[in-house]
Amino acid sequence: MHASTTAPRFTFPCRVYYEDTDAGGIVYYVNYLKFMERARTERLRHLGFSQAQMASENLLFVVHSAQARYHAPARLDDELAVSVQVQELKRVSLKFYQQVRRRSDDTLLCEGHFTVACVRADTFKPRGIPELLYAAFNADVQDFAGE
């Protein structure tokens, strides 16, 4: 594994597809969690870490808890910007703060806090976050504190 230790604010772009919407034509609430999961995965990839590679090295991240607050609906074909920021870093866990915004008018649609634990892939027991990954996440925490 290798990591980039520079941590600019990370935003993942996505679009709302028909499959993301409910009968009323708005994004079904649970799909915001999917958008945020994808953004966290892409943040890892941007830092130089592949989930497949980490799994082969007996490392997984699992969601321990999730909290979401919904502000406004997204609709079919909206372009979204999903941000990811490490809010708190511990030896075996991280707390992420995320937002989903509509790109056309920067409206906050949903925000959430996610606690993610680092575990062994073979036993699902907690394990320390590897040093390179910890350093990359630590840069995110410092960036968050500076905002």
- Dump the DSSP string for the chain: -------PPEEEEEE--GGGB-TTSBB-HHHHHHHHHHHHHHHHHHTT--HHHHHHTTEEEEEEEEEEEE-S--BTT-EEEEEEEEEEE-SSEEEEEEEEEETTT--EEEEEEEEEEEEETTT--B-PPPHHHHHHHHHHHHHHHT-
- Mean pLDDT (whole number) for 121-135: 94
- Mean pLDDT (whole number) for 108-137: 95
Mean pLDDT lowest for which of 1-10, 59-68, 74-83, 128-137?
Answer: 1-10
> What are the tens digits of pLDDT across the range 92-117?
999 999 999 999 999 999 999 999 99
Task: Indicate which residue of 20, 22, 77, 105 is catalytic.
Answer: 22
pTM of the model: 0.87
Categorize the per-residue pLDDT at 4 as very low, low, confident or very high, splitting at 50, 70 and 90: very low
Please state the domain extents for the chain.
Answer: 10-145
22 is catalytic: yes
Categorize the per-residue pLDDT at 7 as very low, low, confident or very high, splitting at 50, 70 and 90: very low
Per-residue model confidence (pLDDT) at position 3: 37
10-145 CATH, one of 3.40.50.720, 3.10.129.10, 1.10.3720.10, 2.40.50.140: 3.10.129.10
